[in-house]
Amino acid sequence: MKKQVYNPFLPIYECVPDGEPHVFGDRVYLYGSHDKEGGETFCMLDYTTYSAPVTDLSDWRCEGTIYRADQDPAYPTDRKFMYAPDVVQGNDGRFYLYYCMSGRAGFGGYNGPISVAVSDSPAGPFRYLGFVHYPDGSPMLNYICFDPGVINDDGTIRIYYGTWSDEALDKDFPNHEKAIQAVMQRYHKSRNEVLQTEGSVMGPCTVTVGDDMLTVTSEPRHIIPAYTIGTSFEEHPFFEASSIRKIGGKYYFIYSSWQNHELCYATSDLPDRDFVFGGTIVSNGDVGYHGRSEKDRLNMTGTTHGSIECINGQWYVFYHRLTHKSDYSRQACAEPITILPDGSIPQVEITSCGLNGKPLHGTGTYPAVIACNITNGHMPHGSNKIYTDSFPNATHCGEDRFIGEIQDGTMLGYKYFAFSGAKEIGVQYRGSCNGKFVVSDNMDGKNIVAEIPVAPADAWTESRAPLHISDGTHPLYLFYRGDGEAAVKELYLA
């Protein structure tokens, strides 16, 4: 690699969530939504993509704006924003972008068709082509068109899509009028559509299209049971974020569960049915990893969306983290994963080193925001809003990116560093803080390796302290102990 790479692996101001990684030729491309840094709702910006050589995942290049919302005929009605897309190479060699338009905060995002754009290059730019439709030209609106994922399955183009409402998780849903009305209103479906659609209007579905990439060639159908109680999906029901991969003849369906912080997977020998729950691949709060509970989440958790990809022989999971105390400024992260001989994927922890392929150097200057754990011990689960109460978070002001609202009891975790002779640690900070950062190489904080004093400072100020840590690979955990509030911009190791 030309340089080190850490999470988030794109420029620290960039917010590309819902990432779909695809290798085309000798480069990997990341397609996703495009949040605004400090944004006020989801997906405020036009699509961009980044790409990197498959041999150097530190060398990400911005390909610029690849598609604009105003290229879609639905703009600028009640659907101004483009949600999570996917890209597939068609049988004609061109590249096709599948997406759905939505309104502010998701409103109006469930009643439109799946739109399609096309380009001669995986780097774009794309131009509007049309929408997925039946042979008579009418839009395919069966079930709920949302979060399309696409695969070219040996010449057959398969689209996976859908979402699920908690009101509709219960088999007794048809007997609950209030729940029926809620689903009708949220998803702009008639009573007949809600009650008479096979199984349920909710859930993940699949449909095939022809070589024109638009015309439906099969009837849409559910790929897992409409109601999950009593099935392998009962504990991790589908919510959204459909993504599909084919590995060794087996289909892997990757999705965000109703837990809303984890990417799960299911497998089948068939593309359109008989999927069985496999497990959780990653949680953006490390929930479930080594039995961690939701109340002990290691970050603010919230929406996640992503997929897996084999890059130069190594499999990775791409996901996103939350910043700015909301779900509106999400950043791309990635971790290496292992697909075991039986096809299972063990859950991986979130780290700071991600795509680096090894621990980060034990000396150097790092952005504080690469902390993979930011917690005060009672972090919230995100929702469709910006939180106003105080808790530690990655944020920005002008050109500065930092972790703010650090109060007594806050822990910042960095995983992992390869230490060899490091003797000093420091932070660049500011704020009303008066205390110290107690540094440990254990999450329990018992093995103290440094104490960095901090005092009130209006401007960014540097404080350093001796570091007593053995050589080898270690995490670092910084615990703030003291009064007032701190913001940390950089971490120094020497």
Instruction: Please write the tens of the pLDDT for every residue from 13-64.
Output: 999 999 999 999 999 999 999 999 999 999 999 999 999 999 999 999 999 9
Alpha-carbon distances of 342 from 267, 272, 278, 348, rounded to whole Å: 11, 21, 11, 17
How do residues 225-252 score in pLDDT, each as one tens digit?
878 889 999 999 999 999 999 999 999 9
pLDDT of residue 5: 99
Query: What digits encode the pLDDT tens for the residues 345-365?
Result: 999 999 999 999 999 999 999
Tokens encoding 407: 């109060």
The burial of 140, by beta-carbon neighbours within 10 Å (0-12 exposed, 13-18 middle, 19 or more buried), is given as: buried
CA distance 44 to 126: 18
Specify the pLDDT at position 465. Answer: 99
**For 112-118, what is the mean pLDDT?**
97
The number of beta carbons lying within 10 Å of the beta carbon of residue 340 is: 8
Which residue intervals of 226-377 are DSSP H helices? none
| Inter-residue contact 134 to 115 (CB < 8 Å) | no
Q: What is the mean pLDDT of residues 438-457?
A: 98
pLDDT at 139 (0 to 100): 97
Dump pLDDT digits (tens) for 245-304: 999 999 999 999 999 999 999 999 999 999 999 999 999 999 999 999 999 999 999 999
Q: Omega into 367 within 30° of 0, i.e. cis?
A: no
Q: For residue 69, which phi and psi values (nearest 5 degrees)?
A: -60, -35
% of the chain residues with pLDDT over 70: 97
Residue recorded with tokens 């110290």: 436
Average of per-residue pLDDT across 422-443 = 99
Q: pLDDT per residue over 73-107, tens digit each?
A: 988 776 789 999 999 999 999 999 999 998 776 56
Domain boundaries, the chain: 20-164+203-356, 360-493
Q: Dihedral, CA atoms, 34, 39, 40, 46, nearest 10 degrees?
A: -30
CATH architecture under which domain 360-493 falls: Sandwich (2.60)
DSSP string, 153-209: ETTEEEEEE----GGGSSTTGGG-HHHHHHHHHHHT--HHHHHHSSS-S-S-EEEEE
Q: What is the DSSP string of 351-393?
A: -SSGGGSSPEESSEEEEGGG-SEEE-SSPPBP-SSB--S---E
Whether the link from the prior residue into 466 is cis, omega within 30° of 0, is: no
Helix (H, G, I), strand (E, B) or coil at 82: strand
Distance, CA of 334 to CA of 356 (rounded, Å): 10
User: Could you check whether the bond before residue 122 is cis, i.e. omega within 30 degrees of 0?
Assistant: no
Query: Which of 20, 63, 240, 485 does the annotation list as catalytic?
Result: 240
Q: Which pLDDT value is given to residue 107? A: 65
Task: Tell me the CA distances in angstroms from 358 to 122, 167, 476, one per residue in order.
Answer: 29, 44, 16
pLDDT tens for each residue of 136-188: 999 999 999 999 999 999 999 999 999 987 766 666 778 888 888 988 888 88
Whether the domain at 20-164+203-356 and the domain at 360-493 fall into the same CATH topology? no
Gap between the Cα atoms of 42 and 22, Å rounded: 23
User: Token match 């101004």: residue?
Assistant: 80
Q: Which of 18, 35, 72, 327 is catalytic?
A: 18
pLDDT at 108: 65
Q: What is the mean pLDDT of residues 328-334?
A: 99
pLDDT band for 192, please (50, 70, 90 cuts).
confident
Residues whose CB falls within 8 Å of the CB of residue 455, separated by 6 or more in sequence, listed in order: 433, 434
- CA gyration radius, the chain: 23
pLDDT of residue 169: 63
CATH class, domain 20-164+203-356, is: mainly beta
pLDDT band at 195 (very low <50, low <70, confident <90, very high): confident
Q: Which helix (H) or strand (E) holds 396?
A: strand 393-397
Active site residue 262: no
Residue 240 is among the residues annotated as catalytic for this protein: yes
- Chain mean pLDDT for the chain: 96
